[in-house]
Structure 1
Amino acid sequence: MIPVTPADLAQRIAAQRRQGSTLVVGITGSVAVGKTTLARQIADAVGQTVEILSTDGFLKPNAMLEAEGLMLRKGFPESYNAAALAAAIAGLKSGPVTVPAYSHATYDVDPAAARTISGADVVLVEGLGLAPDPSGHRLPLDLLLYIDADEDDIIAWFLARFMALWAAAATDAASFYARFRHMSEAEARAFALNVWTGINRPNWQDHIARALPVADVVVKKAGDHSLMLVR
């Protein structure tokens, strides 16, 4: 393994683009591993016209997840509109694509935040839902980047994010996390750890990690957020 920076990754990605075409790059890894942050860092450094598309927007709306009994499976493959995600990724090569968006504050798809992507040199598709399915079928990505990390570090990042949203909900009654404000800080932290253990860890191990052996680029993220290039 060798040290690598987001700028190094951006250079590698830019070198893969063919003139006149849109390069579609997937960025995946566990919940809370830093997919969104790395996508933004790469976009800032790539030196071309870049759009970032989050797969969170392709989650089924909460009302549908509740009707299907999937609220506790959010982030698992069955919680996504997989056909719409595949169609959007394929469409990025040929013309304008309108993509949905997601609000982490409301914990739901936000129809008002949908946007259209057109004419980008590079589109970074970050999030879950990018791993091959059990039959090995893969989405039409030009490159797939997987962010790996030790579980203890991922847990620390997940807890930090959960607690930040929990704290912000103290002054935002519309936040999904307002429902947890009756908990003490210690209770909220314990609840978040249970969410990791019962939901996010199984999803990571059983589904998300299927992308690791097939990824074109694998980086290992350390507790201090530094990156090492695995392959």
Structure 2
Amino acid sequence: MHYSPYITISREEWAKRRDDAVLHFENDLYKLQGLNEPLTSEEILQVYLPLARLLNLHVSAAQQLHATTSRFLDNHAHKVPYIIGIAGSVAVGKSTTARVLQRLLSAYPNHPRVDLVTTDGFLYPNRVLEQKGLMNRKGFPESYDIRRLIQFLANVKSGMEKVAAPIYSHLEYDVMPEELQWIASPDIVIVEGINVLQVRARKQREPAVFVSDFFDFSIYVHAEEKNLREWYITRFESLRSTAFQDPHSYFHRYAHLSDEETVAMATRIWNEINRPNLEQNIEPTRYRASLILEKGSHHFVQSIQLRKT
């Protein structure tokens, strides 16, 4: 008999686990999907509604435990947010997953306030990356201000009423120093980023604390490398004719490439930066997740792996 820490569930079986109540989301589809990431009503009904139901059960249980503990201690300590981490490669669709879950989870009456934070804002500014010689390793673990990210999560998890997160501009390809996202007493916080499940011990003797230590539940969005490469190149091609056309875009230099040059450049970036990061840092963290969404070549989830509890 083959033993595994995960239960593997087919898409068809998973779809049966959704809520009977119909949540109205059709008008939000175009807002939720990412560039070149197809999102259909069927995908939401069969994959994301069951996942939202499961997460709601976990959040409800955590809320009940908090109430029980408060009664035990005879105090009324402020509840702390439930934190969900979402990890996975560039171009796999993490952002779409995060937005859909934010939309669905906020429809439940026991946790209407759901905030979404991306770890892009915790990248070091470009000037710092240039000083450290890390511009070509942007997205690798060492390119993040991990201390600032951990302090942010510690403040959120301590119940602090208002916490600020830095904002990243994909247009300018840099952190926006004058802009902040304020997180004010949410019920749930979704933290999305390629390396949020990464563990890398510090050299100093102080106890090591990792980003994932603050997660109550974690999700890894997985796809085969060949599919990820294809999706990345397709997205790069789309950006060439849209966002890259903006003179203020960091990547405006690629706006006038030919079709062949665009594919060649995207392939080069994938092979030199994204694939090494995937193989060395992202993919090895897959089995640290509470749940794994397995995507097929069509960009849709085909099976789910849920960690046994």
TM-score by length of 2: 0.71
Following TM superposition, by how much is the alpha carbon of 1:225 offset from its aligned partner in structure 2, in angstroms? Answer: 2.8
The root-mean-square deviation of aligned C-alpha atoms, in Å, is 1.7
Letter in 1 for 2:102: A
Equivalent in the alignment of 2:95: 36
Equivalent in the alignment of 1:86: 150
Following TM superposition, by how much is the alpha carbon of 1:69 offset from its aligned partner in structure 2, in angstroms? Answer: 0.6
Equivalent in the alignment of 2:305: 230
Identify the match of residue 8 of structure 1 among 50, 53, 63. 50
Runs of 4 or more, structure 1, over 4 Å off, are none
Q: How does 1:88-127 map to 2 (within 5 A)?
A: 88-93=152-157, 94-95=159-160, 96-127=162-193
Q: How does 1:47-66 map to 2 (within 5 A)?
A: 47=107, 48-66=112-130
Identify the match of residue 183 of structure 1 among 251, 257, 260. 257
Equivalent in the alignment of 1:138: 210
- Which stretch has the larger CA shift, 87-96 or 73-82? 87-96
For this pair of structures, how many residues does the alignment match? 231
Q: Is the 8 A contact 2:139 2:277 kept in 1?
A: yes
Following TM superposition, by how much is the alpha carbon of 1:6 offset from its aligned partner in structure 2, in angstroms? Answer: 1.4
- Which stretch has the larger CA shift, 124-133 or 71-80? 124-133
The structure with more radius of gyration = 2
Mapped to 1, the partners of 2:94 and 2:287 lie a distance apart of 18
Letter in 2 for 1:65: L
Mapped to 2, the partners of 1:112 and 1:162 lie a distance apart of 28
Following TM superposition, by how much is the alpha carbon of 1:33 offset from its aligned partner in structure 2, in angstroms? Answer: 0.6
CA 1:170 to 1:103, structure 2 compared with 1: closer, same or farther past 3 Å?
Answer: closer
Following TM superposition, by how much is the alpha carbon of 1:137 offset from its aligned partner in structure 2, in angstroms? Answer: 5.5
Following TM superposition, by how much is the alpha carbon of 1:167 offset from its aligned partner in structure 2, in angstroms? Answer: 1.4
Mapped to 2, the partners of 1:110 and 1:194 lie a distance apart of 28
Identify the match of residue 160 of structure 1 among 234, 239, 263. 234
Mapped to 2, the partners of 1:225 and 1:109 lie a distance apart of 29
Letter in 2 for 1:101: I
Q: Is the 8 A contact 1:24 1:123 kept in 2?
A: yes
Letter in 2 for 1:34: G
Following TM superposition, by how much is the alpha carbon of 1:171 offset from its aligned partner in structure 2, in angstroms? Answer: 3.7
Q: Is the 8 A contact 1:56 1:128 kept in 2?
A: no
CA 1:185 to 1:113, structure 2 compared with 1: closer, same or farther past 3 Å?
Answer: farther
Mapped to 2, the partners of 1:226 and 1:159 lie a distance apart of 18
Partner secondary structure for residue 198 of structure 2 = coil
Partner secondary structure for residue 176 of structure 1 = coil
Following TM superposition, by how much is the alpha carbon of 1:184 offset from its aligned partner in structure 2, in angstroms? Answer: 1.4
Mapped to 2, the partners of 1:209 and 1:9 lie a distance apart of 22
TM-score by length of 1: 0.93
Following TM superposition, by how much is the alpha carbon of 1:22 offset from its aligned partner in structure 2, in angstroms? Answer: 0.9
Identity of aligned residues (%): 35
Mapped to 2, the partners of 1:209 and 1:196 lie a distance apart of 15
Equivalent in the alignment of 2:43: none
Which one has more relative contact order, counting CA pairs under 8 Å at least 6 apart?
A: 1
Equivalent in the alignment of 2:70: none
Alignment deviations for residues 162-181 of structure 1 (CA, whole Å, 9 cap, x no partner)? 22222124641000111123
Q: Is the 8 A contact 1:165 1:177 kept in 2?
A: no
Structure 1: stretches of 5+ with no match in the other structure: none
Mapped to 2, the partners of 1:175 and 1:25 lie a distance apart of 31
Partner secondary structure for residue 15 of structure 1 = helix
Structure 2: stretches of 5+ with no match in the other structure: 1-8, 15-46, 64-78, 202-207
Q: Is the 8 A contact 1:131 1:207 kept in 2?
A: no
Following TM superposition, by how much is the alpha carbon of 1:114 offset from its aligned partner in structure 2, in angstroms? Answer: 1.4
